[in-house]
Every structure is written in C-alpha cells, then in structure tokens.
Chains A and B, each alone.
Chain A
Amino acid sequence: MGNVMSASFAPECTDLKKEYDSCFNEWYSEKFLKGKSVENECSKQWYAYTACVDTHLTRQGIKSALDEARKEAPFEDGGAIKDQE
C-alpha cells in the first residue's frame, strides 16, 4: 500500500477511514494542539467512517469481545480498569 495512513480492519471501510484520518491529523496539529478548537471538525467524515466500522464489528464477531473490554475498562474512565483487586 502506497499510503502512509493505516488500513481499517474491514477493507470496505479503508477509504472512509483515510478520509477521516487526513481530516483529523490536520485538525489535531493545526487546531487542537494550539488550543483553537472546542469541537472536532471532521464530523462528516467521522459519521461515514464509523457507520461502516460499526456494521463490520458486528459482522465479523468482534462486537461481543469489545463490549466486554468496554465494561472492564470504560471509555469514560479513560480506559482505566474498573475492578482492580
């Protein structure tokens, strides 16, 4: 692959992912890091990409393992493990 941006786990989503990534990387360096943004501006690309990803997460049977991982280490807690002994 000639592109430096990584592929999606679902080949069907790779093009949408690349469109999103290029928008995001630009936004990250030029706006977010400079404290110039209060919203993620790539929402159009984002919705197209994640709709594709969600479909394939279910189709490829990854969704249940993901749900379990999310329960253990919630997104809301920045991925920290919930019930650590």
Chain B
Amino acid sequence: MLSLSLKEALSRLKDGSLSAKELCEKCIDRAVKTRELNAIVTPTYSQARKQAEVAAQTWSRTGKSTTSARKLEGLPIVVKDNFCTKGVHTTCASRMLENYVPPYNATVVQRLFTQGAVLLGKSNMDEYGMGSGSVDSIFGPVRNPWKYEFTNTRTIPEGTLDTSSLLASPQSPGEALGTRGLHRSVHPGTGGSNPGLHEEGAWRVAGGSSGGSAAAVAAGICFGALGSDTGGSTRNPSSYCGVVGLKSSYGLLSRHGLIPLVNSLEVPGIMARSVDDVNTLQNIMAGTDEHDSTTLTDDRFVTSDLPEDIDVKHLHIGIPKEYHAPGLSPDVLDAWRRAADKFEQAGAKVTEVSLPHTQYSILCYIVLCCCEVASNMARYDGIEYGHRGQQELSTEQMYAMSRHEGFNEVVRGRIFAGNFFLLRRNYEQYFLKAQRVRRLIKDDFTRVFDEGVNVLLTPTTLTDAPRYDWFTAADNRTRNEEQDIFTQPINMAGIPAVTVPAGLTSNGLPIGLQFIGQMFKDKEMLTVAKWFEQQVQFENLNLDHLDN
C-alpha cells in the first residue's frame, strides 16, 4: 500500500477503501521500521495522528453532506528540516539551530496544511543544505533505502521517538563524533551503526542535500515531500533514491520560511513517486506570496492537471553535448541514449545542441554560493535565536564563540571563502566575474530555446548512488564539484527541471534523467517527463516485506 502514488492514495481515501487513520498508522509504522535510514530527524507522530483523525472524519462526511474534503485531506508528507514549521523543531541539521522552534509556517508548508496534508516529520539533510550526500548532518548520515539490508525491524516504542531523545542522541556515538566536522575526517565505517552486520560503509548515500526527504519518499514513509534546490539538492537525491524530483521555475514557489542559503539560486523542491504527483503538489503551492517579493504576480503559470494521452511528435528535444562530461558512467550514458532514442522513435525531433559554458558553471556556482552564504550566515549571532556560546566577556567574543561552536567546518569554510571573494581587492576578479559568467550560462539556455528546442534531456548525475565509504573519502567541496555538475546550471538560469527515474543500473540502483524546461513553462516540461515515465514504467522500491 505504501508504494502507491499520491494520486492513487487519494482516490482510495475518496472511495472509502482506505481510511486516513489507517494510512497514517501505516506510514508511521514504516517510518519506525526504516529508522536506520535516518531520514526523519524530528518525528511528529502525535500531531499527525490528530490531523489524520480530522481527515478521517472529513472523508466520512464527504459525499453525504455539503462538506467536501480538501485536496490533500489526510495525505502524509515529510518536510525538509530547513522549512519553518510552527511549533516543530527546525534545525537545518546544525547545532546552531538545534533548539530553534519557529513561531510560523513557511508559506509552502502552510499551503500544504491548508489542503489537509498530514506532517509526519522533518527530514534529515546536510547542515544548512551545504552538501550533496546528506552525510554532513548533526544527526548523522542518511542511508539510501535501495539495496539496503535492514538489520533492525523490531518495533520501537513510541515513547522513545520524541524529539528530545533524538536530538540528544544521534544514532550512535560514532556518528555523532564523525559527522560534527567535515566528512573528510570521518574514518570510513564510523557511520555504520551496526558494524558486523553490514560491510562497513558499503551502503549507498541518499544524495543531498535533501537526502532525508528523498529516502522517505522512496521508502514509502510518505507520499510527497518538500526539499530545497539551490544547486541540485532536490534532483540529486531524487535521482539516487529513484523518485521524481522537481525544481520549479524561480519565482513560482514562495521562499518565505525557507531558511536561506543562496537567495538568488534556491527554490523549494518537490519530491514524489510520480510526475503527476509533483505536479499536484506544485499546483497547490505555486503562486504569489506577499511575504516573498520574488514570487510571480502575473498569470504566466496556470494550475492544471497533466494530460493522459501525450503526443511528443510536435516536440523538439535538445541533447546538450556538454552534458557528456568526464566521469559519466556507462550505465547513465546508456540510459540517456535510450531515452533520446525513445523520443526519436515516437516522432519527436531530437537534435544535439550546445551549451558551451556548462563546464564553468560549477566554478561560478562555488563563488556565488560562498558569497551569498557569507552574507546570509551573518544573521547568526546567538542573541535573538540560535546557539549562544557561554562567553560574556564582550559581544564580539560571544558572537565568535557561538558561530564557531554552532557551524560545522563546511559552513565555516564557505563563509571564509565567501568573505575572501567579497574583499574589496577580490570583488571584481571573483564575485563580478562569476556573475558575468552566470549571464553567459543563462544566455546559453535562452539561445537553444529561442532556436526552437522545447525541452532539454540530460543525465541528472554522473553515476548511480555512491557508496558511503567512497563518498566520504574526499572533502565536501570535491564531492560538490562532481555531484552538482548537471544540476546547478539550471539554478543559474532560474529555469525549471525535473528528474525522473530511468531504470536500474547493473548494480540494481536507480538512475534518473533530467528534463529542463523554459522559464515558467513547468507544465510543458512535466508533460514531456510524464510521457517518458509512461514509457519507462519504472518500478518503485517496495519495502512491504518490512511490514511482516
């Protein structure tokens, strides 16, 4: 039942063959049984049960009276821990915000709640979203549910799952130690909470930084999840976990209440098990928000369902040659080729195109990301909220201690780099230079779309999900440079992109392909992605054996 799509689950709630309470319990049970994945850092089960109760009553009344159920009535979701949730811990997986409880909901979260969605918990991530493996978190790394051997399927009493115990004790002392700093310093294997039962570090990373949300969707804990996407943080883990991950056009979804990392690049991300499902969630969340002046105010976006019968004959699919990058695995290349062939066989016009500045995009991303991070992180001083160091000598001294203790080494490193690029003597050479290159990257996309291309087709990642021990053998920046290679150019241009599972590799792991659309033409892109999904018939991960 937990492998159903959001759409199927809703129709079962509607016809009464499934109750909202039952569904909620199933999801909670799955979350508990897959606890080793470390996908959920703050469970909100009692709140979820209350919401499900209300939903169950609403559904039972629906049809009999004038009351009607809301669009997501009783549907369990998971929210990445960098979206503010009223009264629920929002930590960004950082010591800095370990005790932060927001007094308000992020706009996108509120819109889901307004439509009756049930929050099951907050999901794990790289600290402040700075990472691509979901391994740099104070809660320890997220494990990819694919090819994962669950060692612990016993039921854990509800009482042990409250927030305080989770915050106080990450999965094992080894993890707590190992992940406090840069993951480079982690000895391979320290992340394994069950040494001996698993080959140390042999499990796969979930990708990042929204790895908890992707793993939760893949494992059947929820039917949809929020991630965020600054350079690929939604698409990368979606690809590794075999789910659909959407990065909307910049300005379509409000960022109010999303704890900022890189304002000019990031958008809320949507994850689910089908293209229709991400479309449904986007419809619910998209639109003007007076709390975010960058949201669109015109009617360039219309909410609608995607068509069932899709014809790709009239379409022009572009294959950017630069996306065959050094390090692309044969499996991914093969999947990419087959997808291109499918479109061609179905009558679409498929051509090779060029986006010449692709290889410089990741460098440009590093500079802009560090600069905005340096500026954004200036808000954390330990006074109004966040970790406060035990230091009363002077304000400055207290600031320095709070920040030093509150941020991990990756965050601190990016602050330094950002402040270096922003020094008066470096501003032109690094910051402005990167902004100029950013325009060239955006212009590359504009040009191919002006030439008649409707949608671009590329790989999402170089390979399938890497092993944890391999991933942590290099530092955060090195991994970012490889992991975000195909995803961050899209953030540079602000355009939409979606990753769709394309099949399994010889390792039995999922890989995704990325469709890139034109600004605010998210629907067109999603329609193409849905056609591809229909051709592939990807089989979602099924963990129903854990129920026994």
A binds B: no
